[in-house]
Chains A and B, each alone.
Chain A
Amino acid sequence: MIELRGLHKSFGQNNVLAGVDLSIERGKSMVIIGGSGTGKSVLLKSILGLITPDQGQILVDGQDVTQADRDAFLARFGMLFQGGALFDSLPVWQNIAFRLMRGSLKRPKDEARDIAIEKLRRVGLKSDVADRFPAELSGGMQKRVSLARAIAAEPEIIFFDEPTTGLDPIMSGVINDLIREIVVDMGATAMTITHDMTSVRTIADDIAMLHAGRIQWTGPVGDMDQSGDRYIDQFINGRAEGPIEAIR
């Protein structure tokens, strides 16, 4: 279980997170929605310790993350970065198998490669992509390779930052199903950021909406349409008129 308590983060004058409280149950899929620039990516990076919050606490299974052993802590996580963040000096398969080739999860090269190719298949890519370099792939292909890397070591907790952005509708469907499958079959805990409402409805058990530095609304995905919250209504129906300013 992941618990955030009173998380604050500013960059200079820019108050991005202003007291975020949220909890994510083990084995559940939480989807974070919210306007562009509201700090969704910052939120995920704070949990991973890539950004140090100014204030507040992050607990994973009851333990404060700042007290946890970093290596053991990170070994439980997988992350798909918004921009892919593939290592462009390494071929695709070595990107995917990065974790399987070093450290505590190290295994023979052939085995790591086989796993990488299997993960490629799961994100809808053929094995001939394995030996190409990230720069030779299209944006959507890079995103999927990055997704394959995030799930390669079968982590307990997986963060997906906009997994379907830049994909065609069919591929989006494949990826949504994959994320759902990872949560249901592997029992992983997932946190997904997305702007795609179809994704939200396929992936989510629960959703949370980030607005003005706080969680505006959180609850089961089934309650989303009858939340009675004007902000969430405006957001999920994509209306220009409403309490959320269009110019931010």
Chain B
Amino acid sequence: MTGALGALGSAVLAMLASIGRVVIFAANTVKHLALHPFYPREFFQALVQIGWLSLPVVGLTAFFTGGALALQIYAGGARFSAEAVVPSIVAIGMVRELGPVLGGLMVAARVASSIAAEIGTMKVTEQIDALVTLSTDPMKYLTLPRVLAATLSLPILVAVGDAIGIFGGFLVGVNRLDFNSAAYLKNTVDFLETADVVSGMVKGAVFGFIVALMGCYHGMNSGRGAQGVGRATKSAVVAASVLILGANYILTEVFFTS
């Protein structure tokens, strides 16, 4: 009994300690934003890697999700003859919830893993040590550009994903569910408020921060050897995904009550 309690206690302590380390790491990253120097080349490279090259996967995810959402809402709405809500619910569902969450998760899979693997490999092959001896702060040179690029590009990815998702719903609505295309569009535009779009984009920014931060944190703390990098990559994706879903609930609560 005491053994089990002890194990539970040390597990909780270990968890709290790692939360503490992540918070310190995050604070450190943000602090470097204000400190000289800034590496623009690394930042633009990260922007291309994280923002631009994630467009296809985020776009495809949104497209199919929007289409499926239209079918589901039509089927659900038909039970109380409310098929007409399809356009507005697809729009609101995409913009407020599914766009940012699915976009964030797809980027977590694509970007958190690649950042963790890249930085982890650099750590294991002493490249991080080499950076330090060449008077370059790894937090500034590696972490900050990636975190900043992800935080700034995810809202835009989310907005693009929203539009593509709504378009997917529109195609299904018009072609499969016999909506009138002009009416579908009018319904979408009339119901959607600026606050819906903005709240989704704010979520995107937070998720972007989480994804890049987890990639960098786990990469920098990678264990030795190929196995260490493998573990770091896995931890980065798992942590980023869980944190995205947790943060999503908290943010939704905040936007919902305000």
Q: Which parts of B100-147 form the interface with A (CB within 8 Å)?
A: 118, 122, 125-127, 129-136
- Chain A residue at minimal CB-CB distance from B122: A87
- Chain A residue at minimal CB-CB distance from B124: A83
Contacts of B225 in A (CB 8 A): none
B132 touches A50 (CB 8 A): yes
CB of B133 to closest CB in A, whole Å: 5
CA distance A78 to B131 in the complex (A): 11
Q: Count the A-B residue pairs with Cβ separation under 8 angstroms: how many?
A: 50
**B20, CB-defined interface residue at 8 Å:** no
A45 touches B135 (CB 8 A): no
CB of B90 to closest CB in A, whole Å: 42
Contacts of B126 in A (CB 8 A): 81-83, 85
B129 touches A85 (CB 8 A): yes
A48 with B133, Cβ < 8 A, contacts A81-B126, A85-B125, A87-B127 known? yes
CA distance A82 to B17 in the complex (A): 33
CA distance A99 to B129 in the complex (A): 14
**A79, CB-defined interface residue at 8 Å:** yes
CA distance A48 to B192 in the complex (A): 58
Contacts of B130 in A (CB 8 A): 79, 81, 85-87
Contacts of B39 in A (CB 8 A): 102
CA distance A98 to B141 in the complex (A): 12
Which stretch from A69-77, A186-194, A195-203, A219-227 is at the chain B interface?
A69-77
Contacts of A75 in B (CB 8 A): 135
B133 touches A79 (CB 8 A): yes
**B37, CB-defined interface residue at 8 Å:** yes
CA distance A74 to B122 in the complex (A): 20
Contacts of B122 in A (CB 8 A): 87
Contact with B along A41-83 (1 / 0, CB 8 A): 0000100111000000000000000000001001101110111
Contacts of B37 in A (CB 8 A): 102-103
CA distance A45 to B130 in the complex (A): 10
CB of A89 to closest CB in B, whole Å: 8
Q: Which of B118, B125, B127, B132 contacts A74 (CB 8 A)?
A: B132
CA distance A142 to B39 in the complex (A): 26
A45 with B129, Cβ < 8 A, contacts A102-B37, A103-B37 known? yes
Contacts of A82 in B (CB 8 A): 126
Contact with B along A96-137 (1 / 0, CB 8 A): 001100111000000000000000000000000000000000
CB of A79 to closest CB in B, whole Å: 5
CA distance A146 to B231 in the complex (A): 29
B134 touches A99 (CB 8 A): yes
CB of B252 to closest CB in A, whole Å: 38
CA distance A74 to B129 in the complex (A): 12
A103 touches B129 (CB 8 A): no
Contacts of B136 in A (CB 8 A): 98, 102-103
CA distance A217 to B93 in the complex (A): 74
Contacts of A78 in B (CB 8 A): 133
CA distance A163 to B136 in the complex (A): 23
CA distance A48 to B131 in the complex (A): 12
- Chain B residue at minimal CB-CB distance from A77: B133
Q: Which of A50, A86, A99 contacts B135 (CB 8 A)?
A: A99
CA distance A71 to B137 in the complex (A): 10
- Chain A residue at minimal CB-CB distance from B129: A50
Contacts of A50 in B (CB 8 A): 129, 132-133
Q: Among the interface residues B118, B122, B127, which one has the most CB atoms of the partner chain A within 10 A?
A: B127
- Chain A residue at minimal CB-CB distance from B132: A50
Q: Using A74-B132, A79-B133, A99-B134 as known contacts, list a sample of 8 further A-B pairs with CB atoms less than 8 Å apart, ordered by residue number in A.
A: A48-B133, A74-B135, A75-B135, A81-B126, A81-B130, A87-B127, A102-B136, A149-B134
Sorted from nearest, which 10 A-B pairs have the closest CB atoms? A85-B126, A85-B130, A79-B133, A74-B135, A50-B129, A81-B126, A99-B134, A85-B127, A98-B134, A103-B135
Interface residues of B (CB under 8 A from A): 37, 39, 118, 122, 125-127, 129-136
Interface residues of A (CB under 8 A from B): 45, 48-50, 71, 74-75, 77-79, 81-89, 98-99, 102-104, 149
A-B contact pairs, 22 of them (CB 8 A): A48-B129, A48-B132, A48-B133, A50-B133, A74-B132, A75-B135, A77-B133, A79-B130, A79-B133, A81-B126, A81-B129, A81-B130, A83-B126, A84-B125, A85-B129, A86-B127, A86-B130, A87-B122, A87-B127, A89-B118, A99-B134, A103-B37
